[in-house]
Homo-oligomer: A and B are copies of this chain.
């Protein structure tokens, strides 16, 4: 059965979006649609141009016999900016302020469209870097970590506070929470991380950075490398921050629990990635 160009364009778009970061050979598409490679090549040019002009991403071509195309996610600066400004507006509601300077974000992190957009914005910043996997801390960071992983097509490992029977043998470390100064434990399954992996740490919220710092220490235990640190919200702290190099989409400052006042602004994403 032969396919018309219009059908190929629809199906190829779906296929490429479903397999971000993966190298797909022209032969694969040629066989899938019983079409000549030259037609497939023209299709891919159309898709690439549309992806680029609409800010969806791009197609990177790898030449040669083992070559093909790879979909790389991106986001237009304007789209990211207006989304983050909208999020700042949602988050700045004083009722969201919880004891301890935390923020109620459960409803926001429960919306797949929002989580996916955040994931795409973070993924776009690391799309051309070597990321082997995403690490996060249970439980709040998990949806964001998967949203980033979806766009980069790499696995997720989840660090836990407790030792679950279903994890098999584990490595655990103690760390000091930056804000509460308490000693806490984090646990990671031994099988989940290969030595030398490049790991992108993703979390929903960062105050002093104790949890993120703990994950960095844990990576050292596994002889793995930090490819980057990205958080949705950072809370500006009067005390010294434990982590220096990170990306944030939103920043809280002047958190006044007593008067229920917070100041919400754009994080460092646009200054760090532009």
Residue A252, interface by CB 8 Å = no
Which of B98, B113, B146, B191 touches A143 (beta carbons < 8 Å)? Answer: B146
Over the window 1-31 of chain A, the binary record of Cβ atoms lying under 8 Å from chain B Cβ atoms (1 yes, 0 no) is 0000111011101100111000000000000
Residue A262, interface by CB 8 Å = no
Alpha-carbon gap, A112 to B145, bound state (A):
10
CB distance from A250 to the nearest CB of B (A): 16
Q: Is the CB of B112 within 8 A of A156?
A: yes
Q: Is the CB of B46 within 8 A of A10?
A: yes
Residue A115, interface by CB 8 Å = yes
Which residues on B sit within 8 Å (CB–CB) of A166? 98, 102-106, 140, 205
Over the window 103-132 of chain A, the binary record of Cβ atoms lying under 8 Å from chain B Cβ atoms (1 yes, 0 no) is 111110011110110000000000000000
Over the window 183-195 of chain A, the binary record of Cβ atoms lying under 8 Å from chain B Cβ atoms (1 yes, 0 no) is 0000001011000
CB distance from A54 to the nearest CB of B (A): 5
Q: Is the CB of A156 within 8 A of B143?
A: yes
Q: Is the CB of A6 within 8 A of B46?
A: yes
Q: Which of A103, A165, A205 has the most CB of B within 10 A?
A: A165
Q: Is the CB of B100 within 8 A of A165?
A: yes
Q: Is the CB of B153 within 8 A of A113?
A: yes
In the complex, given contacts A6-B50, A106-B189, A139-B158, what are 18 additional A-B residue pairs having Cβ atoms less than 8 angstroms apart? A5-B6, A7-B50, A9-B9, A10-B51, A14-B56, A98-B165, A104-B167, A104-B168, A106-B166, A106-B168, A110-B157, A110-B192, A112-B146, A112-B154, A116-B150, A139-B142, A139-B160, A142-B142
Closest 10 CB pairs of A and B: A10-B50, A13-B13, A110-B155, A138-B139, A7-B50, A102-B166, A142-B142, A112-B149, A112-B150, A110-B156
